[in-house]
Amino acid sequence: MKKTSGFLVLLLLVTGNRAIGQRTSVSRRFPIYNNAGRPDLTIDPQRFVSQMTIVDRFFDPSGCEVQEGLVGASGNRRILRFDTVIMNGGDGDLVVGDRSDPRNLYAAWFVFSPCHGHYHIRDFSSYELLNRDRTSAVAGHKQAFCFEDSLKYDGGKSHGYDCDYQGITSGWGDWYYKQLGGQWIDITGVPEGDYIVRVEINTAGTFDEGANRYPNVVEILIHVPDPRHKVSNP
Residues that bind Zn ion (CB under 5 A): 116, 146
Burial class (CB in 10 A: 0-12, 13-18, 19+), 4: middle
Closest approach of Zn ion to the CB of residue 120, in Å: 5
Smaller CB distance to Zn ion: residue 163 or 221?
163
Smaller CB distance to Zn ion: residue 145 or 195?
145
SS3 string, the chain, reads CEEECCEEEEEEECCCCCCCCCCCCHHHHCCCECCCCCCCEEECHHHHHHCCEEEEEEECCCCHHHHCCCCCCCEEEEEEECCEEEEECECCCEEEECCCCCCCCCHHHEEEECCCCEEEEEEEEEEEEECCCCCEEEEEEEEEECCCCCEECCCCCCCCCCCCCEEECCCEEEEECCCCCCCEEECCCCCCEEEEEEEEECCCCCCCCCCCCCCCEEEEEEEECCCCCCCCCC
Smaller CB distance to Zn ion: residue 118 or 152?
118
Closest approach of Zn ion to the CB of residue 63, in Å: 16
Closest approach of Zn ion to the CB of residue 189, in Å: 27
Smaller CB distance to Zn ion: residue 68 or 91?
68
Q: How far is CA 5 from CA 9, 10, 223, in A?
A: 10, 13, 12
Closest approach of Zn ion to the CB of residue 225, in Å: 29
Closest approach of Zn ion to the CB of residue 58, in Å: 22
Closest approach of Zn ion to the CB of residue 163, in Å: 7
Residue closest to Zn ion, measured at CB: 116
Smaller CB distance to Zn ion: residue 16 or 63?
63
Contact 93, 168 (CB under 8 A): yes
Smaller CB distance to Zn ion: residue 26 or 146?
146
Closest approach of Zn ion to the CB of residue 31, in Å: 28
Smaller CB distance to Zn ion: residue 40 or 148?
148
Residue 189's beta-bridge partner residues? none
